[in-house]
Amino acid sequence: MRSWIKVLRELASDLNQLRPHLRPNRWLVLTVVAAATLSALFEGAGIGLLVPLIGMLQADPKDLLKMLHERRILHWLPDLFPDRAAGFYVGIFCGIVLVAILAKNLAQVLSQALMAKFSRRIAVNLRTALFHRMQHASIQIFEERKAGELGNLYSLETIRTQNAVEYLLLLVQRCLLAAFYLGAIVLLSWELTLGLFLLSLLVGGLSMLLQTRLKHQGDERSGALLGLFGYISAIFSGVRVVRAANAQQIAEAEFDRLNQRLAEVERRASILGGLMGPLTEIVAMAGAMGLVAWAYTVLIQQHRLGSAELMMVGFVLIRMLPLLNQLYGVMGQISYTSGGVREALRWLNSPLFPVRPFGNREWAGVGHSIRFEGIGYTYPNGTVALADISFTIPAGRTVALVGSSGSGKSTVASLLMRLREPTVGRIVADGADYWEYSPESWHARLGMVEQEAFLFHDTIAHNISFGRPGTTPEQLQRAIGSAHLEDVIRNLPKGLETVVGERGAQLSGGQRQRLAIARAVVANPQLLILDEATSALDNVSERLVQAALDEARHHRTVVVIAHRLSTIRTADWIVVLDHGRVIEQGTWDQLTAQSGQFSRLLQSANPDSGMLG
């Protein structure tokens, strides 16, 4: 009993925290409970009316009228319908019992329909809350957790949370019905009430033992599902790597292991769940038969309970024992599904970004300069990515960031994109902290091309204009021209309406990069960030993409992260990073005249690829 109370208390606490996200309709909840109460009330009334009905059937027809006058629950019949035959009164009472059962079923149908409506609303609101929360969560969340976790969240945990709410309402409904049955037995005999209480404790103890195991099985199943989904997501995201390494058999063997692990967990859970009903029913029925035998020997033979009342007890036991099994089963399901509520809460409590809210100033683009003033950034795990970074990006100029892998170049780009917030220092755009500008105006005038262009499984037109709903056909064509995509689109079967496939699988690497360039420049951004946009390409593709980048850089402020000497050579200013610090900065000529880190990078450059070492 204590474990049940603990589970219910924890679930109630979790659901209370989840309530603002679920946004349940108070009146709908009250209506569900009211309909459940009516259903229980009418069922209790229908069963309760069987005692006087049995008494009427056992009475001599000649004495029926006298019996009706003597019983308080029946005396209204001869008063309302005087001088009628015994069969008439029995028929009327049978009709009353039928009406009570009909009313019970109507209330039950109404309760189930309202519960289904409530459950659907909960599911929709929960999925919406999770999606909105993830849209505003720290980007660190997606870098630390497996891709399969999000799929598991929407495919399993939201359903478990929805089911937890359903089972909690079902528990309320069944408890109300059990209360009416228990009340009927209390009125009939306190000894039977005590016996039923002891029987309930016996069945409850057995059920709690099984449910503890079922809860462990539920948590283990959730972990097995997460492991399987995460592995599937990783393997198919990296299918090219798997096939290039001829590792299909290794991948299949690991999949089989995880799949069999899930199957074994589900097998044990299935056996345990299948045993719960029969075991508790056998124990419950054995106890019930013993209770009836005792009642006959002690209560009936000593004339402390009438035969009609004992039959009534039998009816109640027949209805109540399956109900007890349902209650224990519902508690078992609550134990399992409560894990989904906790998991949903864990995601909904993910840190929001930004912690410091953005301002509402309008940014018109780089008017004078953007300055990094003593910028530092530390990852949540304590890794220092940047320390005391200071440099200036003049308007209309190209600034190149160079350095070895892990020097902090991409973190600088993330800070400029406002995907992360500086831990210390500030970035000043035209005299104001760049955090004071509204997200709409900042990102509307900023474009970015990354090393690996991410494309959606949609048309070329949608991928170019993504995030720019007001893009005109003229803007689209200008962006395509700037990215040198005309020939590519012309040769595609459906032109701009060609679907590029998952992550742009239908296009080559160079075509994906040029499409990403078109997306970056379609809204004519004032600040363009190029994060190693050509480093992963072959020489032919690199020349085409470089031509597109040169076109895109005209009349714009550009921050370029690159390893290619051709890209760095054309930059107006070069900032050299090492282990998160600026160790050198200046023009090409100034830096090559020094015997510093930049000179050493040039000396280690590959003469064939033109890449820094």
3-state SS string for 576-597? EEECCEEEEEECHHHHHCCCCH
- The arithmetic mean of pLDDT across residues 26-54, rounded, is 77
Choose the weakest-confidence range: 250-254, 342-346, 500-504, 570-574.
Answer: 500-504
Q: State the number of CA atoms in the 13 A half-sphere of 581 facing the CB.
A: 5
The H or E element that residue 447 is part of is strand 446-449
Residue 313: pLDDT over 90: no
Q: 561 and 406 in contact (C-beta within 8 Å)?
A: no
pLDDT band at 142 (very low <50, low <70, confident <90, very high): confident
Q: Which has the higher per-residue pLDDT, 329 or 374? A: 374
- The arithmetic mean of pLDDT across residues 371-380, rounded, is 93
The H or E element that residue 189 is part of is none
**Cα dist. 373→82, 249, 407, 425, 595 in Å?**
100, 53, 18, 6, 26
Q: Which has the higher per-residue pLDDT, 574 or 235? A: 574
Residue 603: pLDDT over 90: no
Q: State the number of CA atoms in the 13 A half-sphere of 101 facing the CB.
A: 10
- The arithmetic mean of pLDDT across residues 69-92, rounded, is 74
pLDDT 10s digits, 110-140: 888 888 888 888 888 888 888 888 888 888 8
The label of the residue with tokens 């799929």 reads: 151
At residue 545, the pLDDT reads 67
Q: State the number of CA atoms in the 13 A half-sphere of 126 facing the CB.
A: 31
**d(Cα 510, Cα 533) in Å, to the nearest integer?**
10
Q: Which has the higher per-residue pLDDT, 372 or 221? A: 372
Write the CB contacts of 136 (distance below 8 Å, at least 6 apart in sequence): 352, 353
pLDDT band at 278 (very low <50, low <70, confident <90, very high): confident
**CB atoms < 10 A from the CB of 330, how many?**
20
Q: In the numeric block, which tokens belong to residue 514? A: 């040029």
pLDDT band at 385 (very low <50, low <70, confident <90, very high): very high
**d(Cα 336, Cα 319) in Å, to the nearest integer?**
26
At residue 61, the pLDDT reads 72
**d(Cα 445, Cα 553) in Å, to the nearest integer?**
14
At residue 388, the pLDDT reads 93
Region of 164 (left: φ > 0; alpha: ψ -120 to 50; beta: rest) is alpha
At residue 163, the pLDDT reads 85
Q: In the numeric block, which tokens belong to residue 226? A: 């997460």
The label of the residue with tokens 């997306």 reads: 519
**d(Cα 98, Cα 93) in Å, to the nearest integer?**
9
At residue 374, the pLDDT reads 96
pLDDT band at 541 (very low <50, low <70, confident <90, very high): low
Residue 447: pLDDT over 70: yes
CATH 3.40.50.300 intervals, the chain: 359-445+564-613
- The arithmetic mean of pLDDT across residues 460-472, rounded, is 84
**Cα dist. 555→161, 165, 366, 417, 468 in Å?**
53, 58, 11, 20, 21
For the chain, percent of residues with pLDDT exceeding 90:
13
Residue 139 Cα to chain centre, angstroms: 17
**d(Cα 54, Cα 107) in Å, to the nearest integer?**
26
At residue 215, the pLDDT reads 66
At residue 384, the pLDDT reads 92
Q: 597 and 584 in contact (C-beta within 8 Å)?
A: yes
pLDDT band at 273 (very low <50, low <70, confident <90, very high): low
Task: Enter the DSSP assignment of 83.
Answer: S
Whether the upstream peptide bond of residue 357 has omega within 30° of 0, thus cis, is no
Per DSSP, the three-state class of 573 is strand
- The arithmetic mean of pLDDT across residues 199-209, rounded, is 71
Residue 608: pLDDT over 80: no
pLDDT band at 544 (very low <50, low <70, confident <90, very high): low
Indicate the CATH number for domain 189-351. 1.20.1560.10
Going by their DSSP bridges, the two strands 369-378 and 424-429 should be labelled as: antiparallel
User: Is pTM beyond 0.75 here?
Assistant: no
- The arithmetic mean of pLDDT across residues 198-204, rounded, is 72
Going by their DSSP bridges, the two strands 581-586 and 573-578 should be labelled as: antiparallel
Task: Enter the DSSP assignment of 528.
Answer: E
Indicate the CATH number for domain 359-445+564-613. 3.40.50.300
Radius of gyration of the chain (CA): 37
Task: Enter the DSSP assignment of 358.
Answer: P
